[in-house]
Amino acid sequence: GCVLVVSVIEQLAQWHNSTVKAAMERLCDYIPGKYQIMCHMSCCIDREMNADVVCHSLRLCKQDPGQPLCHLYSPPKKEKHSSGTFHALVHARPKCQIRSKSFMGFSSVCAFPLLANLCEKIKYVLRNKLPFEDFDGDKFSTFPTLRGYHWRGRDCNDKNTTVYPGRRPDNWDAKSDSNCNGIWGVDPKDGIPYEEKFCKGADSKGVVLLGDSAGAHFHIPPEWMTVTQMSAKSFANLPMAFTDELDWPQFSEITGFLNSTIGGWTDSLYLRLRRRNRCNHRDLQNISQNVYFPVNIAPYLSFSLARNQLLDNPAIVIYATIGNDVCNRERDTLAHMTTPKEMLSNVVEALRYLDSHLPNGSHVILTGLVDGRFLWDNLHDRYHPLGQLNKDITYSQLYSFLDCLQVSPCSGWLTPNETLRNLTSERALQLSNVLKEIARSEKFANFDIFYMDFPLRQTAEEWRKMGGEPWQLIEPVDGFHPSQIAAALGTGITWQKALHEWPQVLGKENPFNDQIEAIFKDQGGH
């Protein structure tokens, strides 16, 4: 984080031919007030020192005994070995020690008694994937971020626990909207409730994603670090991004519902289900998390999943942890990957929980793991957004820096070691085969189960036909996650497969969609 911020400040000074102090002030003018904690670093930054040196001098970066010195930038030509870099660090430290103490204090903000309870609630929300603001405790919210309606259908009455998206209508919603799809009241012409007239027998169903950071749609805007295009507008979305954990589920492949503001376009399984049957409005849940290590989904489903077997509509559940089981930050990464035996146990445990909680007539789709060799093959020699100005940072350098710090999102794929990349893909294929076999052999009372490969190859082919390049399918800042374009294209491929192979999953086309929109157009907002 420090290296990123210092790099941006130094590049701003270079681009605008200004002092570091002026560049810092410029950046602080761009950033919303409460996020200006880094504005105290300018006394320590020298344009002649690269960001690695500055951050070590601030003591925000350090070298543990016996560990390599981690650096993003290549050492100066006259100092090609680490002792030269250390020499620079030693001379930089004295003028930064006092200021760095006050800066470091920010990390322990949760130690203050007045904030301790708030911090604990935020941790609980993040751990259990639940809305921070949910007054009636039904796991749905009227607030967008902090796991609110960007992640789940928007609640239409946060003071009534029996009113929430996805439930079957209470008395056909003659008097009020109990399932938040905007359809309620009685047709004065014949006295029949609109919900009964338009949605009875319509095969309504919601969509639930059980996923990882790709499903949550992790994205760091490249404009936050591209100084040639930087302005106050670049950071307008920063508060929202932080309170959504740098995820953008509202634009994602499975549960997206708003027009994308991060490039590309939004197309999602939810939007297509809604277009197919307007009665499905707001029935979505994105239960995904940003972790870079194997996770057993089953234990947190009891806290996170909002589905009542007796009162709610069936659901399409997408199980898509496309990389977590082979991705970790460990030096001996292979030893920390999920084994086929563990995969079988974890997934079957989750499916058994779903069988005891999903309404009858639901569906589960297991998505195979991605072949992450695509990342290195298409990015390693390209310049990262942070290296565009001076052509000095490639993705290969970024991957090595993160791996050295042991914070790489995937040590097995983001590496120059071709053998390790191949072994990681081999394990991913083994785990995908476990999922395929589960879908073939396991039977459950309340849902049928299907398997599909992660459609990376088809997505890349589709994008090439549209004139695109493969690297554009990868998030530019982290060089790891699927981009907005990849998410939108993947939706179309998944939908076509379902239409041709599992039409029962998608439900029927509702013949009353146009009438519903005409009558309830003012109540259709998300």
Catalytic residue set: 213
DSSP characters for 73-119?
SPPPTT--SHHHHHHHHHHHGGGTHHHHHHHHGGGGGGGSHHHHHHH
H helices of 442-467, in order, are 456-465
- The single-letter DSSP state of residue 464 is H
Contacts of 140 (CB under 8 A, 6+ apart): 131, 134, 149, 152, 153, 154, 155, 158, 164, 165, 180, 306
- The single-letter DSSP state of residue 206 is E
Q: What's the CA angle centered on 425, arms 421 and 427, to 5 degrees?
A: 120
Radius of gyration of the chain (CA): 25
310, with CB counted inside 10 A (0-12, 13-18, 19+), is: exposed
Instruction: Find the helix packing angle between 418-441 and 340-357, rounded to 10°.
Output: 40
Q: Can you tell me the distance from the alpha carbon of 30 to that of 324, in angstroms, rounded to the nearest whole number?
A: 35
According to the 3-state scheme, what is the secondary structure of 470-501? Answer: HHHHECCCCCCCECHHHHHHHHHHHHHHHHHH
Calculate the CA 194 to chain-centre distance: 37
Q: Can you tell me the distance from the alpha carbon of 206 to that of 315, in angstroms, rounded to the nearest whole number?
A: 5
Q: Can you tell me the distance from the alpha carbon of 191 to that of 196, in angstroms, rounded to the nearest whole number?
A: 11
Q: Can you tell me the distance from the alpha carbon of 140 to that of 163, in angstroms, rounded to the nearest whole number?
A: 9
